[in-house]
A and B are shown apart, each in its own frame.
Chain A
Amino acid sequence: MAVIELEKLRKTFGDFVAVDDLSLSVPQGTLCGFIGPNGSGKTTTLRMIMRIYAPDSGKVMVLGNARHGPADDRVGYLPEERMLYKSMRVDEVLTYLSQLKGHKPSHQEINNWLDRLQLGGFAKRRVQTLSKGQTQKVQLIAVLISRPQLVLLDEPFSGLDPVNAVVLRDAILELKRSGTTVIFSTHDMSVAEQMCDAIVMIFRGKKVLDGPMTSIQSQYGRDTVRVRLRGAMPTSLIGVESMINFGQYQELRLTPQTDPQAVLRALLSHGAVELFEIAHPSLQDIFVRIASPAGALEGAA
């Protein structure tokens, strides 16, 4: 059963087309990533799903209801631009935001959630005394404490240090295990690649990619090789279409019919090979293929 169904969604701001002809379906229990560069239309799409923005045209169905709205207590939403009342205590703000979702949490429940997100003992602290990462975790608790069936998170990892990012990631994965449908937007494609079952890639307001992670990567074949070479990489290799330097390794895209073993032999002639891995293309690579002038919007149709 689809939890979200969007049909030919369009939203403009003056002359600017933020989202255009966007249709998609997100099955129940999916951990779905909305990916794309900044300004691609991810946040606008999430806001239309939440009915914060009304679409100019198109249809939005959430949990089987076309007339749902923010007042739908089954949907939890963490916006990108998120703040809390600074003068309120953490337990007060959690109680307040939960009550707005029709749920009145007990002190025990609040403390359990705070403990889970490594904020034990913070219940009586004023929001203004929290760090940015701590505040973000409180905001996430505020979304999750009412146990929604569908959770929308807009750039949940932005601004988090690695430790807090791991805590947040674990919380999201636990939600998925419990059967909650989670959609989060991110411009960091590696995060989506590591976590998501399904991906929706949006570029310049249009959907350019949509589907399960495995099928997307299969669609692009095993034409990618990750390589780490001791010494300098050659600037070009026969049978290699492009190279992306990720710092710790290089990702090479091979031309069709190229034998990876031939590439390995060529690399060995340049120095010691520390890493050689035949892989599906990364989301970043797929995005570059789609967004490059030659391949722009190749998947949009």
Chain B
Amino acid sequence: MINKIRVIAIREYLSAVRTKGFIVGVILMPLLMGGGVVIQNFTKDIVDLDARTVAVIDRTPGQVLVPLLQRAAVRRDATDIIDKKTGKQTKPKFIVEPVDLSGDLQKTRLALSDRVRSGNLFAIVEIGPNVLDPKPVEAPTQPTEIPKTTDPYALIEATSDPDSLVHYSSNRPTYTDLREFIQRSLQPRIASERLNQSQATLDAMMRLFGTLVVPRGLASIDEAGTITFEPRQNEVLLVVLPIVMTMMMLVVVLVGASPLTTNIIEEKQLRIGEVLLGSVSPFQLMMGKLLGGVGTSLTLGVIYIAGAIFGAHQLGVLHVVSPLLIVWFVVFTVVASLMYGSLFVVAGAAATNVKEAQALMTPMMLIVVLPLFLIGPMINEPHGTIAQAGTFFPLSAPLVTMFRLTVPPGLPWWHIAIAIAGSALMMLTLIWIAGRVFRAGFLLVGRPASMRELIGWIVRG
């Protein structure tokens, strides 16, 4: 029995990996990925270096902030935008243009706006007259008074003296460098002035509101008896790593699993099925096809994972992925490919043509991506009730268990065992169902099987 499954799996595997599509995929994907990096490197040097002129309406008494901005711009142009190795300019210069306030303010605003529209000016900055000494505003006390909006600045405007703000206007709102430059240049001075008004210093404020809670590794004792703290884990990576690994697993699974459906339908349409069923049982045929398909996806997976490890090594983040974690990743990718692949085998066995299969594949895809909906709750509670339920439910077990394995402190061995056993049992059940449905329905071409017929085939064979 095993030998026949092996023979089918090898043929399916070889026929898949010898196709032009696979070879092109193997070569093209790294080329595309590598090409992306090359293009990024290449395009990062291609930037628009045209100077950006910003008109500054400084309404502060004595117009004390314009000179500050001008000095900051000169300093930036001299140092921050020059590549130290090559001496080449890498970013555009900022030119601060003070605006004469002798005329009508509204007309000045309009004239400057027209210059922005015509491309003569990049942006307008208007510094409110009270920016250094804001007048108290009656803050909303009831939540209902706070504007409900997705605009993050609406709350600031609603709770601030309008003359104490710095307004920035441009018709290129996505370019944030200039806005951030204005913020960075003005904030220390404005904050300092405002603190002076309240008899407080910036340092004092930092001490009051600075971070108190700092993560630290657990204490451990070495052979010499010295107690030290283990290194602190990178919190960003702790969130990113499970998501990245789960996604990678999902991609490998979908690459290998989804073609299984069309493969089985082609078998029906080519009328080869009966020739094969003269030699092997439907279960052997379906299992062989599944293993062949999974082998194909794992071949791609190995290539991509090797690329990912190389990339992680190049980026210097490989150390955060333990070798054991990579082993678990391979194990659960195989488990996931087999289990989810068997879903697509069932779809292929039940469908009579590609169009019908596409309709069936949508719910299958939903089942495969279902565990992704658990990622949100699992990030906060990787070993909570939802995560545990996901581990014990076969249709989500491979992805959820892999996710949990990446988050310290890992999970008990018996959780892993249940996840693997449950997935294996589910795969065998699905392949058994696929075999019965295929055997009963493989000659049914041109007419979709009704749900009643499908259930009948599963029950009676």
Binding site for B on A (CB under 8 A): 50, 52-54, 69-71, 73, 76-79, 81-88, 96-97, 99-102, 139, 142-143
- A-B CB pair tally, cutoff 8 Å: 67
Known contacts A52-B439, A71-B281; is A79 also within 8 Å of B3 by CB? no
Instruction: Return chain B residues, CB-CB under 8 Å to A102.
Output: 3-4
Q: Is B248 an interface residue (CB 8 A)?
A: no
The 8 Å CB contact of B279, one of A54, A81, A85, A97, is: A97
Nearest residue (CB) in B for A69 is B281
Main secondary structure of the interface of B (DSSP, over half): helix
Query: When A and B form their complex, which 7 residue pairs have the shortest distance between CB atoms, in order from nearest?
Result: A77-B278, A100-B279, A79-B274, A83-B271, A99-B7, A81-B271, A54-B461
Q: Mark B247-288, 1 if CB is under 8 A from A, else 0.
A: 000000000000000000000001110111111110010000
Instruction: Please measure, in the bound complex, the distance between the C-alpha atom of A52 and the C-alpha atom of B439, giving whole angstroms.
Output: 6
Rounded to whole angstroms, the CA-CA distance of A266 and B405 in the bound complex is 99
Interface size on B, residues (CB 8 A): 24
- Which of B8, B11, B275, B278 has the largest number of chain A CB atoms within 10 A? B278
Question: Can you list 25 A-B pairs with a CB-CB distance of less than 8 A?
Answer: A52-B274, A52-B278, A53-B440, A54-B461, A69-B281, A70-B277, A70-B279, A71-B1, A71-B4, A71-B279, A71-B281, A76-B278, A78-B278, A81-B271, A81-B443, A82-B274, A83-B275, A86-B270, A88-B15, A97-B279, A99-B4, A99-B7, A100-B8, A100-B276, A100-B279
Given A70-B279, A84-B275, A100 and B7 touching (CB < 8 A)?
yes
Complex-state Cα separation, A283 to B247, whole angstroms: 68
* Chain B interface (Cβ < 8 Å from any Cβ of A): 1, 3-4, 7-8, 11, 15, 270-272, 274-281, 284, 439-440, 443, 460-461
Which residue of chain A has the shortest Cβ distance to B1 in the bound complex? Answer: A71
Do residues B11 and A96 form an inter-chain contact, with CB atoms below 8 A? yes
CA of A178 to CA of B20 in the docked complex: distance in angstroms? 46
9 A-B pairs besides A70-B280, A84-B275 with CB distance below 8 A are A50-B278, A53-B440, A54-B460, A70-B278, A82-B275, A83-B272, A85-B272, A99-B7, A100-B279
Report the minimum CB–CB distance from B201 to chain A (whole Å). 80
Is A96's CB under 8 angstroms from B278's CB?
A: no
In whole angstroms, what is the CA distance A101 to B280 when docked? Answer: 8
Q: With A54-B461, A71-B1 in contact, is A83–B270 under 8 Å at CB? A: yes
- B281 x A79 contact (CB < 8 A): no
Name the residue of chain A whose CB is nearest to the CB of B276. A100
Question: Chain A interface secondary structure, helix, strand, loop or mixed?
Answer: loop
Using known A-B contacts A96-B11, A99-B7, A102-B3, determine if residue A79 contacts B278 with beta carbons closer than 8 Å: yes
With known contacts A71-B1, A96-B7, A96-B11, A50–B277 Cβ distance under 8 A: yes
Smallest beta-carbon distance A300→chain B, Å: 27
B274 touches A100 (CB 8 A): no
Cα-based distance from A50 to B213 in the complex (angstroms)? 73
Given A54-B460, A71-B284, A82 contacting B277 (CB threshold 8 A):
no
Which residue on chain A has the smallest CB distance to residue B272?
A: A83
Decide if B277 touches A84 in the complex (CB within 8 Å).
Answer: no
CB within 8 A of B280: which of A53, A83, A100?
A100
- Cβ contacts under 8 Å, B279 to chain A: 70-71, 73, 77, 97, 100-101
Q: Are B275 and A71 in contact (CB under 8 A)?
A: no
Smallest CB–CB gap between A139 and chain B, Å?
7
Shortest B15–chain A CB gap in Å is 7
Q: Flag if A82 contacts B281 (CB, 8 Å).
A: no
Closest to A56 in B: B460
Chain B hits for A96, CB < 8 A: 7, 11
A96 to chain B, nearest CB (A): 6
**Residue of A whose beta carbon sits closest to that of B7:** A99
Chain B's closest residue to A77 (CB) is: B278
- Give chain B residues whose Cβ lies under 8 Å from the Cβ of A54: 460-461
Of the candidates A82, A88, A97, the one whose C-beta lies within 8 Å of that of B271 is: A82
Q: Across the interface, name the chain A residue whose C-beta is closest to B444.
A: A13
Q: Inside 8 A of A50's CB, which chain B residues have their CB?
A: 277-278
- Chain A: which residue is nearest B3 at the CB level? A102
A53 to B438: give the CA distance in the assembly, Å. 11
**Among candidates B270, B275, B443, residue contacting A139 with C-beta atoms closer than 8 Å:** B275
A14: nearest chain-B partner, CB-CB: B453
Point out the residues of chain A lying under 8 angstroms from B272, CB to CB: 83-85
Nearest to A143 among chain B residues (CB) is B278
